Each structure stands twice: as structure tokens, then as C-alpha cells.
Structure 1
Amino acid sequence: MRDEELGALFARAPFEQGGWDVALKALASATGSSRAQLIALGEGHTLFNWVTDVDEGYVEDFLEIGGHRPDVNYRVAAARGPFELAWEQHYDAICSAGPNEAYMEHVRRWDAQHGVQTALADEPRAFFGLAALHSASDGRTTEAQRATFGRVAPQVLAAIRTQRAIEHKGTELLLGSLDSLRTAAVLLDGTGRVRSVTPAAEGLLAPETLQVRRGMLHATRPDLDRRLQVAVGLALASRRAMPTELWLQSPQGPLLLEICALPRHEWNFGFAPSAIVTLKAPLGTAGDQGPRISAALELTRAEGEIVALLAQGHSRQEIARMRGVSAQTVASQLRTVFQKAGVNREAELVSIARGVIEMAAR
């Protein structure tokens, strides 16, 4: 395949279903390789690791041995500047000082001992690399294969930048949706760094509870911060759909954090939000909404506070914990509220309450 045709495949890759897989397989074929690899390494972990025609379990095996570390992976140790090639002679020089047996077993297991690679970009918090992986039967790379690989690499970087722009646009759309719903949320990318904070969440960040420091979300208390970082790490690594809950104590009362992975497309490069931290505040930190709702719907003060908490997104179980009562008590109070408000469903009640809050905020 000619260089122009390869370049065209990568240019289309961000826009087509399976486009990246098609383009990388074409690169593998053009360089006489069994597989091609596109990888990004972040601060202490792997952002993504795409390898063509590899059996299930490869990525898990790579992560288990710490394959992102230069003291483990001779390919990472051999990395040079952007678009500078490294190949078998560089791997040999590193391995001569004592190869890492875990990684050597890894490449033998997946039959990817040889090849050529280059850094596409070496950014402060991410390293992007491209590789053509040769199996034992492929043998070592030839000068012609390395030349083809080197000519195509800049076009791969151009496609990654296009992918990044697309994913950033998706971030803007998601942020706009959350903002319109007045959701207090912090969006994190594949490295765990803060991509966006909704205005509602900004109002809940405070020095004594939760802050964004150096681009990362941190709890002020060290023990809670450790739990927060573990929860974020689990969400990013396992794509956990079920949220992890973490409670913080603020001067205004308890603050609930829900850490949850966001759905990801197969060829997501980590630029788009990968996890969301939703902040749910007690009534006192969101304004004096309870009395307004009580007055508008002719409820008792306690009933108004419960409806206000529902309108903020809290579940019945959360409200019970926050108010120090049983879930059955909250359910009983809500049945009375339904009758007074003339509704049959919780969603109807929340809609009315949010309308009251919005009118009061004007």
C-alpha cells in the first residue's frame, strides 16, 4: 500500500466506525508486521493500549506486569524523541544490561519480540507512541519497513489530534447538558484529571472540603482523599458503571460524592470524559429552598425539606440518612406530600419543586 493510501486511512479513522482498527491493520501489513500498536502512557498508568489482532487478555496482562514502566518494558526504555525511530538494535542494548523477565515472558506469550516504534508526542502528562510489532516468524524489521513506518507516523499524529478535537467537542456538549439540568458535577478524563466543573459544582468546592489542585480533584482530609483517589482509579480502570459513594463533612452539613465511570467507545483515547463525580449537597448549602417549597405547596417544614432534597437529586435512602430517620418514615411523609401536591409520581413532584426553585431564583 502506498504512503498516500495509508495516510488517507488514518485521516478518516476518527470519523469512521472501526476506522482506527482498519488503519492500524493496514500499517501492520505495509511494514510486514503481525500487529500494529497505538499506546498512550499517563502519569503512572496506561491511558489506552490498542493492538490489532491480539487475543483477549493482552491489555490485562500488560497492566498486571506494569508494562508502562521503563524498568519493565524495554520498548518504553528505548523511547526517543518524537518521530525518532527505535528498533531491535536499541532493544538489544537495553536488554544486554539485564532484561525484565516478566516483560520478556509477556512478549513471548503474545509473540511480539521484535519491531519498530516511535514517540508521536511526549507531553507533560502523556506519552503517545506508535509501534509495528513483529512476531518471531516475522523476524526483525528491515530498513525499508522502518522507512515506511517513519513516513506514516506524522499522519498518525495528525489523526490523533483530530480525534482529540472531536472528543473535546463531546465534552462541551455533555457539560452543557449537565449545566442545563443544574447538576453539580466534575468531569474527569482518562488520566483522572479534571476536564470540566459545572457551575453548580463550583459552588460546592471549598478549602475545608473539596478542591481542584494541580488539575486533580482532592479532598482536604488525607484519609478521605486517599479513598477518593482509589475510587477514581477503580472507575477509570474497571469502567465501573455502579457509582462509589463517599461522604464528606462540610460546615453546612454532609456532602455526598458519587464517583462513576462514563460509557466509553471502543476507540476512546482518553481525551473525552471517562468518569464523573457528582456532588449532592444538603439543603443548607443550596439555599433556603425548603421553606419556599413548603409555602408553595402548603407543606410542613419537614415535608418541604424532603421535597427540596429530592429536587437536588438525592434518593430516599440518602434523605433518610441525612435527616437521621428511617427510609419508611421518608416514604410515609412523601405519601402525604403526594396527596397535598396532587401528584402520583415522584418525577412529577420533583418537576414541580424545581419549577418553584427556578421561579424563586429569578
Structure 2
Amino acid sequence: MGESHTLFNWVTDIQEGYVEDFLAIGGHRPDVNYRVAASRRPGELVWEHHYDEVRAAAGNDIYIDHVQRWDAEHGAQLVLADNPDAFFGLAALHSASDGRTTEGQRSALLAAAPHVMAAIRLQGAMEHQGAELLRGSLDAMRTAAILLDAGGRVRSVTEAAEQLLAPDTLHIRAGSIRAARPDLDRALQMRIGLALASRQAMPSELWLQSPQGPMLIEICALPRQDWNFGFAPSAIVTLKAPLGFTGGQGARLSSALQLTRAEGEIVALLAQGHSRQEIALLRSVSAQTVSSQLRTIFQKAGVNREAELVSIARAVIEMGSR
């Protein structure tokens, strides 16, 4: 509840319309909700005694009306974990007929807390493992991809994507993927936010200029998973290699045509439409060196002309992308 403020919230025996009402009053805010304002450090129990203190100091009629309307004014709570990645708490909401909590009920809540926290850790481990399994599959397909959780935080980065990241273009800072240019970064964050909010699988495209040429960034939501705590991959950001970046293509061509790694990268650049002069500039060598390397490549590949080599190279690349 509360959009990005609380990505997972489960309430037993909830009445229809409660969540909508909670969101409408901004129930996640400490200046509105006396329960939030009364929260303490992890493991410290809070109950009606503390609620009364907050309400006496700065009561908020909006939330009081809310809990009275939904008959959940009393109760007890404690924070289980509070860190940059996630917040977890446990609470018991009491109706007017339940009355204020007793010492025995509060002790039961404290006794349950370690078991709940153990379940949370297990669920978190499973979701992190799921992210790693997905990253492994993407790595096997040589896909340049970055996996984001429900809060937009980076969970995994494939090797191909790491090669495309750079401080002056696209990078990861404080657990978030950011563009160096402020205007592009605003557009990137907006698209990531929309993908996470709508959870629609249609990709959103964004172009970024890198030193090697234009790079296509695609942001796409992954299918929603019920009963997850937000650590599981919720969106994928894929990067399409800019011109001049050969990535896995060079290695694939080297293997297919029995070339050295350097020769495979030259062939990949040719297949991308670069001239010999451009290849020399990209590889920081002379045009004569590139021409000499191409003569060796022609012999190894069994061709006589550059056009033949490019045709074979594109066929090999196309086979690998299927």
C-alpha cells in the first residue's frame, strides 16, 4: 500500500475499500498516522501507551477518523527490519470490541517476531536467487541487460551490459542506473517508474549518444509475481550495442571463422558498416595495419573480397541472435 512507500503489505480480514481509503489520506506518512510516528528501533514494541503520547502531542483527526471508521483504533506493533533496501514490520490491529492490547497479547507478538523475520529472510533469499538465475540465462545469451527490483534498484548486471556502462554515459550509482546527462537521466527515471507502476510488458525506448555512436536503451516490465517482497526482478533494462562495439559478436566470429580475437572484432566492425579508416580509428591503429590484418582474415575465411566476408559475418551474427 502507498505506491512506492510500501511495495508489499498484507492485512488479514481486511474489508473492501480499506486500502483505497488508507491511500487517500496518505496513511504511510508519520504526520498523518500515529502508528508510523510512534515507531521505534527494530525489536522495540510499541502499543496504545505510545499511540496516546503521539496523539496528545500532535493528533491528526484524519487518521483517527480513518481507524474509527474501519474499527481498528487499538493495537501493538514493532519494526522487524529497517534498511535502505526494505522495511518490515509486524502489527496487530484491534477493534473496539477487542479493546486495548493486554500484556499477554503483546508478549505473543514479540514471540512471533523472530519466526516472521526468519520467513522474510528465506523469501528474500529465494527472490535474490531468482534474479541470479535470470541473469545467468541472459549472460548465456550474451544479452546486455540490467535487472531492477520493484523499487527500481539494480539487482543484477550481465557481463555484456557491464561492458557498455561508462561514467560519462550510463552508469550505476548508489544502486540505481543513471544517465550522465541530466535531461536523459530524468527521461530514464520516468520510464523506469512507469514500467514499475504499470507493469505492462511493452518496452519503452530511449536513445543515448555514446562516444562510439547511438545506444538504444529499452525498459520493459517483467510479469508481476504475487507474494513477493520486492526483491524479485520487476523490470529489465536492455542495452543495444552502439556502433563500434563488437561485444560477443567478435568472439562468435573468431570461433566460427577460426580467427584471433582481434581479427574477429575487425570483422564484426566491418559487418556493422564501418570503413577500414573508421576501424583503424576505433582500434587506435593505422589503416595499413587493418588492411594487413584483413588480408590474413581473407585467407583464413576463404574469401577474396570484403563484401563476401561481410556477408558471411552477418550470417554468423544472425545465427547467433536467433
The answer, yes or no, to whether TM exceeds 0.5 is: yes
Residue 283 of structure 1 and its aligned partner are, at CA, apart by 3.5
Answering whether residue 148 of structure 2 is matched by residue 188 of structure 1, we say yes
Answering whether residue 10 of structure 2 is matched by residue 50 of structure 1, we say yes
Of 146, 152, 155, 2:106 maps to: 146
Tell me, yes or no, if the aligned pair for 1:83 and 1:154 is still in contact at 8 Å. no
Larger of the two Rg values belongs to structure: 2
- SS of match in other structure, 2:63: helix
The residue aligned with 2:122 is 162
1:130-141 mapped onto 2 (5 Å cutoff): 130-141=90-101
Equivalent AA in structure 2 for residue 264 of structure 1: R
Tell me, yes or no, if the aligned pair for 2:241 and 2:247 is still in contact at 8 Å. no
> RCO higher in 1 or 2 (8 Å CA, sep ≥ 6)?
1
Q: Which runs of 5+ in 1 are unaligned?
A: 1-38, 307-340, 342-349
The residue aligned with 2:164 is 204
1:223-262 mapped onto 2 (5 Å cutoff): 223-262=183-222
Equivalent AA in structure 2 for residue 266 of structure 1: D
1:121-175 superposed Cα distances (whole Å, 9 cap, x missing partner): 1224432101111233333222221111111111100111111111111111111
Pick closer, same or farther for the CA change 1:199–1:288 going to 2, 3 Å.
closer
Pick closer, same or farther for the CA change 1:240–1:52 going to 2, 3 Å.
farther
Residue 252 of structure 1 and its aligned partner are, at CA, apart by 1.8
The residue aligned with 1:277 is 237
Tell me, yes or no, if the aligned pair for 2:214 and 2:243 is still in contact at 8 Å. no
The residue aligned with 1:353 is 317
- SS of match in other structure, 1:49: coil
Pick closer, same or farther for the CA change 1:287–1:178 going to 2, 3 Å.
closer
The residue aligned with 2:88 is 128
Pick closer, same or farther for the CA change 1:150–1:179 going to 2, 3 Å.
same
The residue aligned with 1:215 is 175
Pick closer, same or farther for the CA change 1:226–1:357 going to 2, 3 Å.
closer
Equivalent AA in structure 1 for residue 203 of structure 2: P
Residue 53 of structure 1 and its aligned partner are, at CA, apart by 2.7
Equivalent AA in structure 2 for residue 117 of structure 1: Q
Pick closer, same or farther for the CA change 1:352–1:63 going to 2, 3 Å.
farther
- How much identity, in percent, do the aligned residues show? 67
1:69-103 superposed Cα distances (whole Å, 9 cap, x missing partner): 32222211111122211112211211222333443
Tell me, yes or no, if the aligned pair for 2:142 and 2:248 is still in contact at 8 Å. no
Structure-1-length-normalised TM-score: 0.65
Distance 1:105 1:57 in 2: 15
The residue aligned with 1:77 is 37
Tell me, yes or no, if the aligned pair for 1:185 and 1:200 is still in contact at 8 Å. yes
1:60-71 mapped onto 2 (5 Å cutoff): 60-71=20-31
Tell me, yes or no, if the aligned pair for 1:231 and 1:244 is still in contact at 8 Å. yes
Residue 213 of structure 1 and its aligned partner are, at CA, apart by 0.8
Residue 176 of structure 1 and its aligned partner are, at CA, apart by 0.5
Tell me, yes or no, if the aligned pair for 1:289 and 1:305 is still in contact at 8 Å. no
Residue 230 of structure 1 and its aligned partner are, at CA, apart by 2.0
- SS of match in other structure, 1:147: helix
The residue aligned with 1:264 is 224
Distance 2:97 2:172 in 1: 51
- SS of match in other structure, 1:80: coil
Residue 119 of structure 1 and its aligned partner are, at CA, apart by 0.6
CA RMSD between the two structures: 3.3
Distance 1:257 1:230 in 2: 13
Residue 240 of structure 1 and its aligned partner are, at CA, apart by 2.9
Distance 2:108 2:9 in 1: 22
Distance 2:131 2:195 in 1: 18
Distance 1:58 1:168 in 2: 31
More displaced, 53-62 or 89-98?
Answer: 53-62
Distance 1:219 1:183 in 2: 20
Residue 105 of structure 1 and its aligned partner are, at CA, apart by 4.2
Distance 1:113 1:210 in 2: 48
Aligned length: 269
Tell me, yes or no, if the aligned pair for 1:254 and 1:282 is still in contact at 8 Å. yes
Distance 1:254 1:105 in 2: 55
- SS of match in other structure, 1:96: helix
Residue 305 of structure 1 and its aligned partner are, at CA, apart by 4.5
Distance 1:91 1:204 in 2: 52
Q: Which runs of 5+ in 2 are unaligned?
A: 258-267, 274-310
Tell me, yes or no, if the aligned pair for 1:240 and 1:261 is still in contact at 8 Å. yes
Distance 2:16 2:235 in 1: 24
The residue aligned with 1:322 is none
